[in-house]
Structure 1
Amino acid sequence: MSTLLALDASSSACSCAVWHKGEVISRFALTPREHTRRLMPMIDEVLAEAGLMPADLDALAYGRGPGSFTGLRIAAGVAQGLAFGLDRPLIGVSTLEALALAAHRQYHLRYVISALDARMNEIYVAAYRCQDGRLTQVLDETVMPPEQLRIPLAYQDADWCGVGSGWALWDAMPTLVQAALSQRLPDLQPDAADMVRLAVDAFEAGDGQLAHEVVPVYLRDQVAWQKR
């Protein structure tokens, strides 16, 4: 069975988790502007609690975005440095997918719209259908003003939940979106404990990459490039 380490610094939270023998050992803390100082000690703590050395890892993963530009670069730098030094594959995990898995795993929700506050009156957003721990993306990751959000056409009658900081912009959401949601969890943050679960599936499906090939996903850069 694979042993993986995941880390995340994409939001105001900093987290780290190890998957070992089918169990997750993790650390999570709301530490705005302290990610650089807190991340490495967290890694040492989870490895020690699991009784592991870095060389015992089969692969590493990190929250590849979207999220805070600075936080994504911090996590990418640490993860790539470790993966390169250990000669292990690296997996970038979507922060929006991790949010959806958290909602499904903790609250048994089946239809989840993950949204993160992208600042400048925009949100990073994607939607998922969740069943038995498996996620199917039904709305591609994108960045948009909250006023432009729409429920996927094939799932107009589903019972949706909104998760993530983007739902703090509730008042700007279209009335049809508001009507489709039965609940909101705006305080839920991306967490390495969910990312490591997604990374295990990706790794065992053969999705690991060389450390230098994995890059953060900013979304806003992509949109700006398309506009130019």
Structure 2
Amino acid sequence: MAGKKRKSIQRKSPIEVMIAEKNPLLQSSLIRLFAADERFVLVSMAPDGERFLTAAENVRFDVGVIGWEMPYLGGRGVLEAFLRKERNARLIVYTGSSNPSIPVEAEMLGAWAFCSKSDPGANLLETIAAVADGRKIFPFVNAQRAVNDPLGALTPRERELLTALAGGITNAQIAKRFDISLNTVKFHLKNLYEKLSVDNRSQAVAFYLSSRKVV
């Protein structure tokens, strides 16, 4: 007698997904990806964290997919906002960064999963499906190493800015050197200070110089 097949859990409706993604090309790719899979319905697409939060106040969704480095408000800020408001929707951090500290920090801030943009699109879909079913998905990382190496948490641009700060140049000079706006400089520096657990430029420079002495 053949064994009975275990019945899979069938959802009554598609999984409603909302996304925060800054790259227009990737936005288009994600729209096509979700349109091709009837398990999901994409209810909203935001280009940054601030507009994601605004949409979240007005749009019902089951799972949110957010970037980590976004204009105006990054993934960290979005997760912190969700923690404060105790929202029920589940968030997945979706980023191209290979920084090992991001999955650790995301999980600590209440994210349900971490997914890399370097993985096939199907991996994102399966991660969303798993989260919708109540499972948390995170890669194995050496958490102690990630916590103890704040410089390793910096993006390439943030490293460049930290080196520039150590050279004593102003925000306006940094903007001109890297051909970015002054607001973008301030955005990067805010993230930089948070990652180094410092309050201002002088403390960031002191941290940088001390780390070079240790090395």
- The structure richer in strand per residue is 1
Which structure is larger by alpha-carbon Rg, 1 or 2? Answer: 2
- The structure richer in helix per residue is 2
Could you tell me the TM-score, scaled by structure 1's length? 0.28
With CA pairs under 8 Å and 6+ residues apart, which has the higher RCO, 1 or 2? Answer: 1
Could you tell me the TM-score, scaled by structure 2's length? 0.29
